[in-house]
Amino acid sequence: MAQFMDYMISPKPLRIVDLRLDPAKLSVRSLVIRTAGHLPGRTLFRQGAVFTYWAIVYIAGGSGSYRVNHGEAQPVAAGSLFLFQPGDRYDYGPDPGGYWDEYYFTIEGTRSQEWFEHWPIQPNTVMHPGEDVSSQNRIDRIFALMDSGTPANADRASLVLESLLYEWVQLCQASPAAQGKTTRLAMLLEALSGTLYEPFDAAAFAERHHWALSTLRRTVSEYTGFALHEYVHRLKMAEAKNRLLNTEQTVKEIAAALGYGDVFYFSRLFKKITGEAPQLFRKNMRSS
């Protein structure tokens, strides 16, 4: 995954993953992700931008505005979703002196036409599905799949993106009762995030938060795509990556801080989820 600095866009490192193979090798050709990008701390405001491909844009933090073809400027906040379509002109970006954290996916293929014909999507309108841990987890999964460079994983990335977009659109259309269910789910995911620094006991967690264990397992699996324990491990590995990059803690210290008494078990999990051993991950990311 390419990481680079561009101070015209943001003071933070940008992540860009391009499709690195011939689309003819893909099995899912009706929806192809050409590029996935993460622009954390974006400060650049663009005017009159025109795009070649459709793009899906999700704002994970910060605020700003979005305007299409010199129309009315629409406010953008954390948890906002909007699209770019080829040929239109866009003025968009964070407010003066502000920032936003942007994820974008440029796409091509006939599949998008079905979205616009049958899904409740308004291409030139800012939607607001909101923020949750699961969305971030799926976004990270798309980046990891794209970064692998294999046709099968590029296909998987496209399918994960479509599933994520579908969930976002449904959240925008949710009834008050459904929103209440979503709120409880968000509270559940937040509570799971709070288990980062302790050994995870599923039964004890379920009892403490008034969930039947079977319902807890099913809910997490259906919403995140991962089994309960794997989802918790992935949350922990995300924090492990943060510590490997931004602290001088040893692998053993990080493992202990995240509730793993066995550093070798922690290292095996880390490699299984990220593709690299902890020390190699730290070395490669710091040298890039």
Q: pLDDT, tens digit, for every residue of 86-127? A: 999 999 999 999 999 999 999 999 998 899 888 988 889 999
Task: Assess whether 218 and 249 both reside in one domain.
Answer: yes
CA distance 30 to 39: 27
CA distance 143 to 38: 9
Q: pLDDT, tens digit, for every residue of 226-284? A: 999 999 999 999 889 988 988 889 999 999 999 999 999 999 999 999 999 999 999 88
Task: Assess whether 143 and 64 both reside in one domain.
Answer: yes
CATH, residue 203 = 1.10.10.60
CATH, residue 106 = 2.60.120.280
Short-list 21, 67, 23, 27, CA closest to 48: 67
CA 276 remoteness from chain centre: 20
Residue 191 is inside which H or E element, if any? helix 176-193
Task: Assess whether 166 and 247 both reside in one domain.
Answer: no
Domain span at residue 134 reads: 2-172
Q: Which two tokens stand for residue 112?
A: 């998008």
CA distance 2 to 146: 12
Residue 257 is inside which H or E element, if any? helix 251-257
Q: Domain ends where: 172, 200, 222?
A: 172
CA 126 remoteness from chain centre: 18
pLDDT of residue 154: 94
Q: Residue written as tokens 């922990």?
A: 236
Q: Domain ends where: 148, 172, 196?
A: 172
Q: Residue written as tokens 């899906």?
A: 56
Q: Domain ends where: 126, 148, 172?
A: 172
